[in-house]
Amino acid sequence: MMQVPTLKLPSGEAVPVLGQGTWMMAEDARRRADEIASLQLGLDLGLTLIDTAEMYADGASETLVGEAIAGRRDEVFLVSKVLPSNAGRTAAIRACERSLARLRTDRIDLYLLHWRGNVPLSETLEAFEALVRGGKIRHWGVSNFDPADMAELEGLPGGAAVATNQVLYNLSRRGIEYDLLPACRARGVPLMAYSPIEQGRILRQPVLAKVAARHGATPAQVALAWVLRQEGVIAIPKAGRPAHLRENHDALRLRLTPEDCAEIDRAFPPPTRPRPLEML
């Protein structure tokens, strides 16, 4: 079996560069068996980082993940997220406890603030630190933070412990290459790329078909290999069916050439000035 490449979190802990998303899972009972089989196949293949959130399917995605990882908790690097409306000093602790119950585990490996809301960051940080002390989470991070948000966070006492920033990144959403990605890389904070295949919308782009044909690969594999060409980036595609999961895993074998990347750049040019952070 192929060894999945890893990168190091600021703590020094290694995590796989390719993980599994779960947004939109647990929304259709007819798809449930496939979704669980897909997550479990992912674990078998070493895609042991699973990303979920209290928001997804109103908690039902976490419940589904709990079912998929039952008996295999120690294999998994579990990521979940707290809603900004639950990010207060005590509310975040309660929200985390509800997530733990749905996930049927005693700890979340990485707990993220889903996006910035009205609660002062310092309060959320206090809650995260209390959760770490209590052993309920092992690391904390953020999502959808732009460079100014990151600078503000890192300026707060304890803020430099941020383990990741999870943001939208794929070849049709390259804004972060201009500023956020280099800033995070300089600080050793990995980015987690969400919607790495733009929820399927970019798969019909002719450039992907062209590059894929040269490698005997698929457009999704090219899109994923393209995200993963960057150092310090983790991709978390969501696959609700085992065939997609396997295909995405096999993207790890694909190495894009400089010619492939140049061709992709012509179709999807890199940013030449700052752009507001995009989100879904």
Q: Is 114 annotated as a binding residue?
A: yes
* DSSP string for the chain: -PPPPEEE-TTS-EEESB-B--TTTTS-GGGHHHHHHHHHHHHHTT--EEE--SSGGGGHHHHHHHHHTTT-GGG-EEEEEE-GGG-STTHHHHHHHHHHHHHTSS-EEEEEE-S--SS-HHHHHHHHHHHHHTTSEEEEEEES--HHHHHHHHHSTTGGG---EEEE-BTTB-GGGTTHHHHHHHHT--EEEESTTGGGTTTT-HHHHHHHHHHT--HHHHHHHHHHTSTTEEE----SSHHHHHHHHHGGG----HHHHHHHHHHSPPPSS--PPP--
Q: Out of 56, 111, 169, 194, pick the active-site residue.
A: 56
Tell me the closest approach of the beta carbon of residue 246 to ligand NDP, in angstroms.
9
Q: Nearer Cβ to ligand NDP, position 162 or 236? A: 236
Q: Any catalytic annotation for residue 56?
A: yes
Tell me the closest approach of the beta carbon of residue 133 to ligand NDP, in angstroms.
25
Report the interface residues with ligand NDP, using CB under 6 A: 21-23, 51, 114, 143-144, 166, 194-200, 203, 220, 236-241, 244, 247-248, 279-280
Q: Nearer Cβ to ligand NDP, position 135 or 245? A: 245
Determine the residue with CB nearest ligand NDP.
21
Tell me the closest approach of the beta carbon of residue 201 to ligand NDP, in angstroms.
8
Q: Nearer Cβ to ligand NDP, position 64 or 134? A: 64
Binding-site residues for substrate sit at 114
Binding-site residues sit at 114
Just list the catalytic residues: 56
